Amino acid sequence: MTLTNLVTEIKTIFETNKSNKLDEINNKLQEYSGDDWKTNLKYDPSRYTRNSVFKDDNCQIMIMCWPPNYVSPIHDHNNSECYNKLLDGSIIEKKFKIKNNDFTLLEESKIEKNDIIRINDEIGLHQIFNLDSKKYAVTLHLYVPAYDSTFIYKKESCNIKKIKVNLSTE
């Protein structure tokens, strides 16, 4: 399955009246095993990049490139479901709950190639680590619905900041 086919399949899921759309999306992400994601990506050694694949009123699909030794801020997903499939490299995901400015680590998982993780604000916040010192990690993200801002959380200072989500490529 190509990225173009994946987008077509995802669009078709939203055109149906089925109640299990999120399960179907997860299944389609599992089916995707192409390498056509490797073209037209922007990499930045100082931060992760968001490379747009598709966006409409129902969802957004993008490919993120995580530089070596990169740690994302702890963040939410602004009431969206987030599916994340690892295409290359390996990452660590930490999931947190926050209550009264106290962060509780819920889970820490090592994510390997083709693994799919899911997060939403009900599950909690999360943080992504690329611990490889030489290699970028690359992830395919699908958000239902798309969003344009998120909150980042500073654990040390209990500071919360709303940020606009910017794309590296359109």
- φ, ψ for residue 131, nearest 5 deg: -90, -5
pLDDT at 168: 65
pLDDT in tens, the chain (170 residues): 899 999 999 999 988 877 788 899 999 999 998 899 998 799 999 999 999 999 998 999 999 999 999 999 999 998 999 999 999 999 999 999 988 778 899 999 999 999 999 999 999 999 999 989 999 999 999 999 988 888 888 877 667 777 777 766 65
Q: Can you tell me which residue has the tokens 């509780």?
A: 104
- For the chain, what are the domain ranges? 3-164
* 107-141 pLDDT tens trace: 999 999 999 999 999 999 999 999 899 999 999 99
Q: How far is CA 134 from the centre of its chain?
A: 21
pLDDT at 156: 73
Contact 76, 150 (CB under 8 A): yes
pLDDT at 147: 83
pLDDT at 165: 76
d(CA 114, CA 104): 28
- φ, ψ for residue 23, nearest 5 deg: -65, -40
pLDDT at 61: 95
Give, for 142, the enclosing helix (H) or strand (E).
strand 137-144
pLDDT at 93: 96
CATH topology of domain 3-164: Jelly Rolls (2.60.120)
Name the DSSP class of 149.
E
d(CA 17, CA 32): 23
| Angle between helical axes of 21-31 and 3-15 (0-180°, round to 10) | 170
pLDDT at 167: 67
Q: Can you tell me which residue has the tokens 């078709």?
A: 12
d(CA 72, CA 126): 9
Tokens of 138: 């690359």
Contact 28, 9 (CB under 8 A): yes
